[in-house]
Chains A and B, each alone.
Chain A
Amino acid sequence: GESVGLHLPTLSVQEGDNSIINCAYSNSASDYFIWYKQESGKGPQFIIDIRSNMDKRQGQRVTVLLNKTVKHLSLQIAATQPGDSAVYFCAENPGGSYIPTFGRGTSLIVHP
């Protein structure tokens, strides 16, 4: 069947570069945000999350930035590796909700 990465915005980078993937969210009441990575043929995998009382959160090689003023979320991947090639999508959760809204995703292609 078709890859989930088809029909998505694509970011192509060279191995070792830093990658920035962006996400615009829609609900100003959202107070919890998550980034997922989905490799071909696999289920989405949690990468990092951030709550609305923070502007920045860092993990291992990944950083999430939250700009509540313009309702924008970004995922920065440092020293991108071929294993980072995947579809990345964000999710937003309005306060107290247990049903997140998912973005459509960005396909990241890392060239060796």
Chain B
Amino acid sequence: DAGITQSPRHKVTETGTPVTLRCHQTENHRYMYWYRQDPGHGLRLIHYSYGVKDTDKGEVSDGYSVSRSKTEDFLLTLESATSSQTSVYFCATGNRGDTQYFGPGTRLTVL
């Protein structure tokens, strides 16, 4: 798993509450990514980072924000969770032109 951890691994929350997911890597990879995975959709990119404090939007970024204050940590925040954000969230890390390595995932349920 290239030293990638995600926390929490499971979370149940209510609509309208803020949620923050954390990704931590020990591989010193420059790039970090947040994906969501839903049946029928595969992996969809939410946000990514190409360096400390450098982030950009992916294809499904609405309702999500990210921050990267250190090389090893990438946070994904749902400012006001909605039921449509119920999903499995994966963090990935990598370097340009190389494979991505994925974390174990966080299963988020928004009631």
A98 and B50 form a contact (CB under 8 A): yes
B88 and A4 form a contact (CB under 8 A): yes
By size class, the interface of chain B is: 20 to 34
What CA separation (Å) do A99 and B99 show in the bound complex? 10
By size class, the interface of chain A is: 20 to 34
What CA separation (Å) do A96 and B86 show in the bound complex? 33
Contact with A along B40-77 (1 / 0, CB 8 A): 11110100101000000010000000000000000000
Residues of chain A with a CB closer than 8 A to B107's CB: 1
Closest to A105 in B: B42
What DSSP secondary structure best describes chain A's contact surface?
loop
Whole-angstrom distance between the Cβ of B30 and the nearest chain A Cβ: 8
The 10 A-B residue pairs with the shortest CB-CB distance, nearest first, are: A43-B102, A104-B42, A7-B40, A2-B39, A98-B96, A102-B43, A44-B102, A6-B39, A98-B31, A43-B104
**19 A-B Cβ contacts within 8 A?**
A1-B86, A1-B109, A2-B39, A3-B39, A7-B40, A32-B97, A32-B98, A42-B104, A43-B90, A43-B103, A44-B102, A45-B102, A46-B99, A91-B100, A95-B97, A96-B97, A98-B94, A99-B45, A105-B42
Binding site for A on B (CB under 8 A): 1, 4, 31, 33, 37, 39-43, 45, 48, 50, 58, 86, 88, 90, 94-105, 107, 109
Binding site for B on A (CB under 8 A): 1-4, 6-7, 32, 34, 36, 41-46, 49, 89, 91, 93, 95-100, 102-105
